[in-house]
Structure 1
């Protein structure tokens, strides 16, 4: 994450151009200063002011709707698995993991479009939220799981990617010293939405069915989301935005980047499994009501909200490996000691809180990671490494892990391995899935382990 001094009035001497080209923080400072110097009117203040907070509010609502609904898929998973016309069909888990996977996998492409066409980037969020609206509306007419995969999974995922990527790009313009905190705040809205949306879905699905539920949710997206997306806009006008080439992927081949990317994939492979299967798990193991089953997702996502905001603040102060270590350790311990050893519903709820807190905060560690990738790129003579595009590369790893998680989860549960052959929840039929989730959490800390071994 680079730092800029957007309120400075100095101009950059041409003689310093070569030095600035190799210095990420000075590069962005130069671009923003030039924009301000050439602007006929004063730009809004950075790190505060009404417009900055309205931008943050718009991002928060967008994130809460798009990712909040995606992270609530466990409610749909439980409903589709037990109600006509989808009951007994395979591939249902793929719908949710495909949605989140495409949101992340498409990020480098959409972020590149934001950089190359800043005039149009201003409208990507309203367009994306409109696409989400049409996706949900069309899903209400689906009759087969493949149709759900294509419409609720793929189309919603692509539209959601266009909705959230401008937030990543414009946050760097609106916030400097509070950038990590700002990212943590709007990213935490996914947890808020993931906690508030499940009981709404639960009530609607039980009373009006999935078709009317999806039409109601689509209307909420259109009425609430699209107008508020107006505030997701750049601080610097598109005609004053930096025109220099910001792409530099040479550092992507470094051991540091590859290690973080592998950790991203592994963390995502494990992270999405509990969110999908916990409602079904507690219903089968403890005979819970629909609401008590849904409560697992609510607790999971609500604690992730706290984790994201907290980790965002930590990422501004500590190294990426320290942040990763905190997330990996807390996640692994909660899986092995709480979920795996649980024999009662309250213990599962405690697990949901701790796992959501430590595993849910993972994306906020990227603020420290992309800052260090940019710094290392400069130190190794790669020139400027665009932190926004670095964010996009990290999204690819998370997207791959998410997509892998869908079919992988069905394979792990096929035949109910360890059922009746192990103690506590390890013998529930979900034992192999629990073990895999814990192992994935352990290996998500790879960068910390390698750094301590002086291999990174």
Structure 2
């Protein structure tokens, strides 16, 4: 639990709580917004869901080859731009479906970085994946906030397209603020004891390399324990 003392851990938790209300808000209102245009509410969700599949795959693969802080920045910034300009200035159903697709391509890839975050925070801990539980818990907290927050922004029982302006502005602003998560790079200097100072958290270590390192360490520990038992 040494990572609880690291500034980077708490910074990432804060960044994780920030975008989550904004992340789910467009998904919640996609069907009702499409209905306000007189179109099917299911089709935008289909575009979003289809786009979110390659989003998480590509995001996870990219994190093995580039600094995940930039992936976080690209994900939040592009999502914010799509909310402000594509959803905010939406004039027809085709443009709204385009927004759902772009949002699905960039917003969901953020959650695929959680495993990489855990490896950065505790690179030599064989149980570093347990850190993901904290990200899941913080996401749950954010989900609880999402309902009341979005409900206050949209109080009309049968909203028209212009009634979504408050939801769009709040969602886009939160995603824009979350793009500041690229500042996690400022905390790389507070690496755990024994970490490399040049690549503070094993930034260039892939998931496979991390697993091999952990497995080799466990095997060495078992051999040492075996030698001690034989010596007794």
* TM-score normalised according to structure 1 size: 0.39
**Residue 26 of structure 2: which of 274, 279, 293 is its match?**
274
**Residue 163 of structure 2: which of 425, 429, 432 is its match?**
429
What is the CA-CA distance between 1:281 and the residue it aligns to?
1.1
Counterparts of 2:184 and 2:59 in 1: how far apart (Å)? 21
- Are the aligned partners of 1:331 and 1:441 in contact in 2 as well (CA < 8 Å)? yes
| Bigger CA radius of gyration | 1
- Are the aligned partners of 1:251 and 1:385 in contact in 2 as well (CA < 8 Å)? no
**Residue 144 of structure 2: which of 366, 380, 403 is its match?**
403
- Are the aligned partners of 1:327 and 1:358 in contact in 2 as well (CA < 8 Å)? yes
Counterparts of 1:293 and 1:435 in 2: how far apart (Å)? 22
Q: Evaluate the alpha carbon distance shift between residue 452 and residue 251 of structure 1 in structure 2; reply closer, same or farther with a 3 A threshold.
A: closer
| SS in structure 1 of the partner of residue 41 of structure 2 | helix
What is the CA-CA distance between 1:271 and the residue it aligns to?
0.9
Q: Does 1:352 align with 2:100?
A: yes
The runs of 5 or more residues in structure 2 that have no matched partner are: 191-232
Counting only pairs closer than 5 Å after superposition, residues 182-201 of structure 1 correspond to structure 2 as: none
Per-residue CA deviation, residues 228-283 of structure 1 (Å, 9 max, x unaligned), is: xxxxxxxxxxxxxxxxxxxx2x3124221111111111111111111111111121
Q: Evaluate the alpha carbon distance shift between residue 253 and residue 442 of structure 1 in structure 2; reply closer, same or farther with a 3 A threshold.
A: farther
Q: Evaluate the alpha carbon distance shift between residue 349 and residue 364 of structure 1 in structure 2; reply closer, same or farther with a 3 A threshold.
A: same
Counterparts of 1:452 and 1:349 in 2: how far apart (Å)? 37
**Alignment-derived partner of residue 123 in structure 1:** none
What is the CA-CA distance between 1:317 and the residue it aligns to?
1.7
Work out the number of aligned pairs and report it. Answer: 189
Counterparts of 2:109 and 2:12 in 1: how far apart (Å)? 15
**Which 4+ stretches in 1 moved above 4 angstroms?**
452-456
Counterparts of 1:404 and 1:325 in 2: how far apart (Å)? 23
Counterparts of 1:434 and 1:390 in 2: how far apart (Å)? 32
Counterparts of 2:82 and 2:89 in 1: how far apart (Å)? 10
**Residue 9 of structure 2: which of 253, 257, 271 is its match?**
257
Per-residue CA deviation, residues 189-228 of structure 1 (Å, 9 max, x unaligned), is: xxxxxxxxxxxxxxxxxxxxxxxxxxxxxxxxxxxxxxxx
The runs of 5 or more residues in structure 1 that have no matched partner are: 1-247, 379-383
Counterparts of 1:434 and 1:253 in 2: how far apart (Å)? 36
**Alignment-derived partner of residue 87 in structure 2:** 339
Q: Does 1:394 align with 2:135?
A: yes
What is the CA-CA distance between 1:386 and the residue it aligns to?
2.4
- Are the aligned partners of 1:320 and 1:366 in contact in 2 as well (CA < 8 Å)? no
Counterparts of 2:188 and 2:120 in 1: how far apart (Å)? 16
Whose RCO is larger (CA < 8 A, sep 6+)?
2
